[in-house]
Amino acid sequence: MSALKFTLEHESENAVSGTRPRAGVVRLKSAVDSSSAGDANGSVSDASCDTAKEFVIHTPQFMPVGTLGTVKALTVDELKTAGAEIILGNTYHLYLRPGHKRVEKLGELQKFMAWDGPILTDSGGFQVFSLAGLNKIDDEGVTFQSHIDGSYHRFTPELSMEIQRSLGSQIVMAFDQCPPYPATKDQVRAAMSRTLNWAKRGLKVPLKAHQARFGIFQGGLYEDLRIESASQICSLEYDGFAIGGLSIGETPDLMQAMTRVAAPLLPKDKPRYLMGVGRPEDLVEGVAAGVDLFDCVMPTRNARNGQLFTSLGKVNIKNARYADDSGPLDPNCECDTCRRYSRAYLRHLFVCGEILSARLNTLHNISYYLKLMRDMRKAIFENRFDEWRENFYRLQKSG
Ligand SMILES: [Zn+2]
């Protein structure tokens, strides 16, 4: 039995842009026995998937980012209450600290962080290019310096698969090369061909029985290269596909326009993932284009900086205008932050640098993002996505 099963439940017309927002279900497996699923020498579990617990993800869905084995400031119970169905872990960070072999010995990432749900791990590639110190790329892989202590390391497509195998995530991402923005057509073409080569090499590395794989295609902002890269990557045996190389510095308009080109290039019967996107309006436009999965650090990172997303638009909680505001942060949100605390109190906590500020702000932002996805899914089923989208923008401007 396959490690991933995708069912496209409903596809609706989106008259505004001519694209097709869609709703579906992704089914994933747990490791059969997390205490013995992977041993210290990295051998592959041969346990049957048939007795594994099944995880169900309703799409479109947003995946909160748990960089270092934690979605910053939240407990796993709070994540569940907020409605999280799947979270993301970062290969680069977990490889450096605490080390993937250690995580595996401790029962893989799910058990290590006590998260009773599925996890998607990225390949580490994006962080190696964007976060690490000096990096040197060649056809075989990338040599880089740790951002923590400057030590030298080397990632290859094979090692990325081995690390993600040790972490035991349900969805393993292919190791790709994301060209910078802006990039010339030749640079993008070179990254595309390396990405294809690495996607093929990664497929040769065996994973555990419960692990599914996603391929990533590139092509920058060049429509013809997107078409070429999508057809190359989608010819390979992956369980789902991701649109890579967007939200890396281009304007939101360009990113959204390329999403409308890119999403329909992917097979209808497999999940589509738009990596690293984005703001609430980017999620709305992504869903409109037919994307199923999203991730972004924005709701968690911005929460810690006092920037809160609400159904009535953005709230910068440190603003003096909230000092005497006894109303809830978002009257349309049912999270604990909005049900129990006032804007004035949230502002006070932020201004004083209280730890609770980061916790309550993050809880709200994540709850808001996840409810936004649920609302869109409902609107798709009810064939009123266009109407819902208009109302979303109207409310965003009303705050
Ligand atoms: Zn809230």
pLDDT, tens only, 61-86 = 999 999 999 999 999 999 999 999 99
DSSP string, 332-382: T--SHHHHH-BHHHHHHHHHTT-HHHHHHHHHHHHHHHHHHHHHHHHHHHT
- Cβ–Cβ < 8 Å for 194, 217: no
How far does residue 289's CA lie from ligand 1's centre (Å)? Answer: 27
Residue 95 identity: Y
Sign of the CA dihedral with 243 first, then 15, 313, and 76 last: negative
How far does residue 204's CA lie from ligand 1's centre (Å)? Answer: 45
- Cα angle 386, 86, 65 (rounded to 5 degrees) comes to 90
How far does residue 76's CA lie from ligand 1's centre (Å)? Answer: 17
Find the mean pLDDT for residues 199-211. 98
Find the mean pLDDT for residues 224-252. 97
How far does residue 361's CA lie from ligand 1's centre (Å)? Answer: 8
How far does residue 336's CA lie from ligand 1's centre (Å)? Answer: 6
The pLDDT value recorded for residue 393 is: 98
pLDDT, tens only, 163-197 = 999 999 999 999 999 999 999 999 999 999 999 99
Residues annotated catalytic, as ranges: 122, 295
To 10 degrees, the CA torsion angle through 68, 74, 79, 85? -10
Fill in the DSSP letter of residue 396: H
How far does residue 364's CA lie from ligand 1's centre (Å)? Answer: 4
- Cβ–Cβ < 8 Å for 9, 17: no
In the CATH scheme, what is the homologous superfamily, with its name and number, of domain 4-41+49-296? Queuine tRNA-ribosyltransferase-like (3.20.20.105)
In the chain, domain spans = 4-41+49-296, 298-399
pLDDT, tens only, 275-289 = 999 999 999 999 999
pTM higher than 0.85, yes or no? yes
